[in-house]
Structure 1
Amino acid sequence: MVGSGWDDAQLPRLRRVGVVGTGLIGASIGLALSAQGVEVLLRDADEAQVAIAAKMGAGQPWAAGERVEHAVVATPLPTIPAEVRALARAGLADTVSDAGSVKVRPLVEGVQLGCDLSTWCPAHPIAGRERHGAVSARADLFAERVWAVCPVPHTGAAALHATVALALACGATPVRTTPQRHDEAMATVSHVPQLVASALAGVLVGLAPGEVPLAGQGFRDTTRLADSDAELWAGIVEGNRGPIARRVRDLGSRLTALADVLDAAGADDVTTAVTRLMRDGHAGRALLPRKAGATARSWGWVGVVLDDRPGQLAAIVGLISRWDVNIEDVGPFEHSLDAPAGIVELAVDPAVADSLVDRLTATGWTAYRRS
């Protein structure tokens, strides 16, 4: 994905926005916009969801014939093209975007339905929860999250700019990409992880009841996504079947190769295979950007032991700043309640990480370079 700066002068100030679909995403968009003083109109095939969203403060029911400047379609994936066409034919919105987690399939179907692509900017707020429905909506769901903006050549400037303005008003970071690149990336970072989590959690069914409590926090963390809505995800996977199939086969081949080594190879080969797999995982994790929309790159992580007393974190940050070393990110503070000290890890330019450890050690701090 490629990020892009946005000229604020080109972006409209949204005053009235329509939200079609008041599930988790739609209701959360309504809450975020309402908190910014935007008038939000809500519509859903399930009137009970509209009532819940309205009661929570996400907006008001969308009466027949009311027009909005921009509408966002946050309905299940298979219904998005028809909803976009309905809005255009009724003349209810100047421009439209959507919140679907697949982009190519709805666009193809939209063309087949005769949707006006000039007023539709495909988009995808990359945020969510395992729980669904308006009752699970949160105004801060999109805060500091990426909002993929995926215009096609026919997308008009007004639709693009309104979609970017919508993302910013919800507290997200808009990142521009193409529908094709979006779907390939989401297969890797979202769709396959969901399937893997569900498959892994499913193996618990084969355990004896007394064995299930042996599952520790690692298993719970790894399978957290397995609580997601099955019907919703069935539509997503069907809509992006090609890229997902390629990623599943690739992942399967990696695991099958490991299984072959475990079945027949010697101890040294097993150690080599597992070490390679783990190191590939370390390299991949290191590429994940800590800031929304940031370009992925590897940082040098420096750990520092801090005494459990006021001012320690401020002191270390101030000292490093005086050395003209930029701290790109701060990791979680590791601290046991029974320990007199804790550890904070700081991300810096890899070229200065080793020298920073040396300088900190020379000034009395206990520091190390994380491998």
Structure 2
Amino acid sequence: MTSNRFAAPYVRPGVDTAAADPPAWDDRNLPELRRVAVVGSGLIGTSIGLALSARGIEVFLRDTDEAQVKLAEAMGAGRPWQGERVDHAVIATPLPTVAAQLRELQRGGLAATVSDAGSVKARLLVEAVQLGCDLGSWCPAHPIAGRERHGAVSARADLFAERVWAICPVPHTGADAVAATAALALTCGAIPVRTTPERHDATMAVLSHVPQLVASVLAGSLLGLDSHDLPFVGQGFRDTTRLADSDAALWASIIDGNRGPIAERVRLLGREFTHLADVLAEGTREEVVAAVSGAMGRGHRGRALLPRKAGAKALPWGWVGVVLDDRPGQLAALFAVIGEWEVNIEDVGPFEHSLDAPAGIVEIAVDPAGADGLVERLTEAGWTAYRRS
């Protein structure tokens, strides 16, 4: 199993661990998964099966829809589960059914440990307790990956590659269950990140659930346009509303399962938009400019906090843009000269380049204290460089 480590420590409610370094995770203590059962043969379950099968693990599949199991089997995700004892089982069924599936697996003694792939954790934990499930052998989890399309036909073996896999144990969760879940995530190519169910749900409300609602509501606004106006749509609207293609039934259960944190965030956004609408309707030009500039400024600062790498801690790097001629060796030459100056490149952004343009732009992240100096040295050396604001 490839070497890895948890990207964040276990977070207890009320404890700020933002400054803590992630603890090393000794892969030698992780179990070797030989037989894994996947309950649910939709997009996530079949993708897990494909990823595990590609690593030589024996995978068993179960779903109430036999057609999905047959399709997943034909794709190479595993074979139908006849009740064989497995090292670990992962439940990838719709959220309202996860707790019942957990109870069935545990009562049947079919798996040494169990995890799940539900995108809401706190309510699921309550449901599991109400059904009398064993919390010791189950580790709540959530692979944060997906597509707008659903079903086994949309599954991919690399769906979880370099994606975060949230691991959300509670005090009752046994060490074996946590270790098996981490092993599952790593084997699928994901980055396990440890947190609490409550913090997971609050975070996902901001980063996933509310964006889904915003995309859907925004895309729905097209219904009020005349068909003659639709050709004017730009790529920005398409990008912003991409999530609107997601499965409605699936998302209805997710939203229902995380009502509280989502409602709080929706109200906050509503207040911000209401304030902006009031300023636009009645404010002076100066007030409008201030309100829009403030909103966009907060947006810029928020975007700057996003980590470029899955599971990494967001850091305020200084970003330097450099124009590169469209000819071989330019990127290598740039990195070589920066290396000679003993400037450490922390991250590299996407390379912006039009096919018919003679040059492109690459942005690199460095220590913010040295960003301006790097721009000056690059300019003196003949490069066209700038400091990204």
Matches of 1:213 and 1:20, distance apart in 2: 44
Long gaps (5+) in structure 2? 1-7, 10-21
Counterpart selection for 1:80 from 98, 104, 110: 98
| Superposition pairs of residues 87-236 of structure 1, within 5 angstroms | 87-236=105-254
| Superposition pairs of residues 1-371 of structure 1, within 5 angstroms | 2=9, 3-63=22-82, 65-371=83-389
- Quote the offset at 1:346 in angstroms: 0.8
Determine helix, strand or coil for the equivalent of 2:147.
coil
- Deviation string, structure 1 residues 191-212 (Cα, Å, up to 9, x no partner): 0000000000000011001011
Matches of 2:34 and 2:23, distance apart in 1: 24
Moved over 6 A (4+): none
Instruction: Give the letter aligned to residue 203 of structure 2.
Output: A
Instruction: Give the letter aligned to residue 61 of structure 2.
Output: L
- Quote the offset at 1:269 in angstroms: 0.5
Instruction: Give the letter aligned to residue 179 of structure 1.
Output: P
- Deviation string, structure 1 residues 5-26 (Cα, Å, up to 9, x no partner): 3111210111110000010000
Matches of 1:129 and 1:250, distance apart in 2: 27
Instruction: Give the letter aligned to residue 91 of structure 1.
Output: G
Matches of 1:21 and 1:322, distance apart in 2: 53
- Quote the offset at 1:215 in angstroms: 1.1
- Deviation string, structure 1 residues 321-345 (Cα, Å, up to 9, x no partner): 2222221221111122222211111
Matches of 2:104 and 2:24, distance apart in 1: 32
Matches of 2:338 and 2:347, distance apart in 1: 13
Instruction: Give the letter aligned to residue 52 of structure 2.
Output: L
Distance change in 2, residues 1:4/1:229 (3 Å):
farther
Long gaps (5+) in structure 1? none
- Quote the offset at 1:74 in angstroms: 0.3
Determine helix, strand or coil for the equivalent of 1:189.
helix
Give the total of aligned pairs: 370
Q: Tell me if the contact between 1:4 and 1:175 (Cα under 8 Å) persists in the aligned partners.
A: no
- Deviation string, structure 1 residues 15-46 (Cα, Å, up to 9, x no partner): 11000001000000000011111110000000
Matches of 1:5 and 1:48, distance apart in 2: 43
Instruction: Give the letter aligned to residue 66 of structure 1.
Output: E
TM-score, normalization by structure 1:
0.98
Instruction: Give the letter aligned to residue 237 of structure 1.
Output: I
What is the Cα-based RMSD across aligned positions, in Å?
Answer: 0.9
Determine helix, strand or coil for the equivalent of 1:5.
coil
- Quote the offset at 1:351 in angstroms: 1.3
Matches of 1:4 and 1:210, distance apart in 2: 57
- Quote the offset at 1:237 in angstroms: 0.3
Matches of 2:212 and 2:23, distance apart in 1: 29
Q: Tell me if the contact between 1:24 and 1:137 (Cα under 8 Å) persists in the aligned partners.
A: yes
- Deviation string, structure 1 residues 286-336 (Cα, Å, up to 9, x no partner): 000011111112221100011111000011112112222221221111122
Instruction: Give the letter aligned to residue 230 of structure 1.
Output: A
